[in-house]
Each structure stands twice: as C-alpha cells, then as structure tokens.
Amino acid sequence: MSLVSEGVEVRGPLVAGVGEPSLATVGDYIALMKPRVMSLVVFTALVGLAVAPGSLHPVAAFTALLSIAVGAGAAGALNMWYDADVDALMTRTARRPVPMGRVLPGEALAFGLTLGSFAVVVLGLLVNWVAAALLAFTIFFYIVIYTIWLKRSTPQNIVIGGAAGAFPPMIGWAAVTGSLSLEPALLFLIIFFWTPPHFWALALYRTEDYARARIPMLPVVSGDASTRRQIMLYTLVLVPLGVAPWAFGYTGALYGVTALVTGAIMVILGWQVFRESRPAERASRNLFAFSILYLFLLFAVLLVERGWGGLIARLAA
C-alpha cells in the first residue's frame, strides 16, 4: 500500500531528511523481516533440529526456532537497509518498506542489529553457544559476504551467498547436539546447490530488472544461454545430493522414492530451461515454482520419516 495513494506525503530516505518522525507501522517492520524467507528458514531449521540425535526440551526447541527465526528476520532487515537503492529500481522489490519511504534506512539498520544481537545472545544463553555462533556467522555471511560484497560484484553472488540460506538446518542440528556431523552437512549441500538453479530461473525472466539495478546476475553478465547451461549443470549436481541422505542410509524408502521422483522432475524442467530460448520464459517459471516444492518435499518427507517420531517424543517428554 503506497503512502502516496493515501494522500500522505512520503517521508522516506529517498525524499526526506534525517530526523523525520516515522510513519512505520508494525506491519512495515514485519515486512522488513522477509516473513516468507523466514518461514523457509524456520522449516529447514526445524528439520535439522528434528532429525538430530539426542534430546532437547520442547521449550528449548521452541527457543532455538524462535531465535533462528528472529536471526533470519534480522538478516532480512539488514539486507533491506543496505539494498534500499537497488530495491527501489526493481519491480519485485520496489514496494519494500525502505524504498517506499515508510521505514528510514537508519531505522532498518537499528532494527536489524537489535534483533540479530538478541537472537544470538538468547540462543547462546538458553540453548548452546555452538548454535549461537553458527547463527551469528550466518547473519554475518548473509549481510557482509553476500549483500555488501558479492551481490554487486560477481555473477557468482548467489552461488557463494547461497551458503547463508543453507546454514539453518545445521543450526537446528547444533541446537540439539552442540556439534556438527556429515548428516547436517548433507542438508547444507542440498540447499547450497538448490539455490543457483532456483534463483537463476527467476533471474532469467527478471533479467531487465537486475540489469536496471546493475546487479551482475548471471543472465545479465554471461547471457541467457550460459545461464541456462549453468542451471542444467547445477541441477545435475543437486539431484544426486538430494538422493544422498537415502543412499547413505540416513533415511528410509519414502524419502528415497520422493528424492528420485522429484529429482527426475527437476532434471526434466532443467532440460526444458536449457532447450528454451528467449523471449520464451515458461520453462524458467516452471522450474522456479517447482524448485520451491522440490526443497519443501525433500525436507517435509525427511521430517515425517526421520524426525517426526523424535519430535513427538521430545514434546511428550
């Protein structure tokens, strides 16, 4: 909802000076936390927490998930603080609170730093410091390594930056065990290699947006054909990794079948993207949409098959 459309003068950072009274509502601050991204982060962290061996009191498990959610929200707010200039240039992000002028950049920065500090300290004090250190590193990685450094400087931005989105299952695992092992590393790798095909499929049909904002996404820098080839290659790496938890014996047949079937669909969609050429974009949209379902299904089945019994037992303890 635009303030201009309500007949209220826009007082944002792009048009107003420092010290203007804020018109930001609670809803604007919730939007700063990127709730949709946060929900995926919480879900993958829940899976990491549920499949980890050992026990964690339900209140501690809730605290861990809440801290991870707030940490993800902090990262979202800091990202919107730093990226307000480019967000204003892109259709997908132009209506975010900072470019719209509803939240001042300083407010977004203070909000992000406060939330992030609270999330890390609460996780450390109430659960354990290994998980807290991982959460702090994740926020640092997303803001400093991805947002500030890589996003505007290299087409490999979301490849390396994707690590930030891949950490939550490891944090969930560490919240229970206080350590890490191969299994959470596999979950990390699945999300890490899922990120490039997912975001490049989006970038293929938002190329003009990224070009206008001068963000060197792969389609902007290397072109359409190269991006489609890279999507295919990363999908071919991703699918075996998706099957790996079953191959290593961490999961049962249901996960194996799900990973094989959905993996085959990912390969088919990746192949269709590879064969498609501009201006057609249907295959890219299909891959983008299905990739979300793919990741959700893998983790949901993992949760049902491996984690659900443990989670119920913990809640009943």
Partner 1 sequence: MSENPDDDGIVLTEAQKRARRSRSIAIALALAALVVLFYAMTLVKGPGVLIRPI
**Contacting positions for partner 1 (CB under 8 A):** 8, 19, 21-26, 29, 57, 59-60, 63, 66, 118, 122, 126, 129
Residue with smaller CB distance to partner 1, 118 or 250: 118
The two structure tokens encoding residue 295: 């990741």
The two structure tokens encoding residue 305: 């098959």
Alpha-carbon gap, residue 131 to 138, rounded angstroms: 10
Alpha-carbon gap, residue 218 to 200, rounded angstroms: 7
Residue with smaller CB distance to partner 1, 68 or 269: 68
Residue 102 CB, nearest approach to partner 1 (Å):
9
Cβ contact 49:176 at 8 Å:
yes
Residue 172 CB, nearest approach to partner 1 (Å):
17
Name every residue whose Cβ is closer than 8 Å to that of residue 193 and which is 6 or more positions away in sequence: 234, 237, 238, 241
Q: What is the DSSP string of 119-157?
A: HHHHHHHHT-HHHHHHHHHHHHIIIIIIIIIITTT-TTH
Residue with smaller CB distance to partner 1, 27 or 240: 27
Residue 57 CB, nearest approach to partner 1 (Å):
5
Residue 66 CB, nearest approach to partner 1 (Å):
7
Residue with smaller CB distance to partner 1, 29 or 146: 29
Residue 127 CB, nearest approach to partner 1 (Å):
9
Cβ contact 154:22 at 8 Å:
no
Residue with smaller CB distance to partner 1, 122 or 259: 122
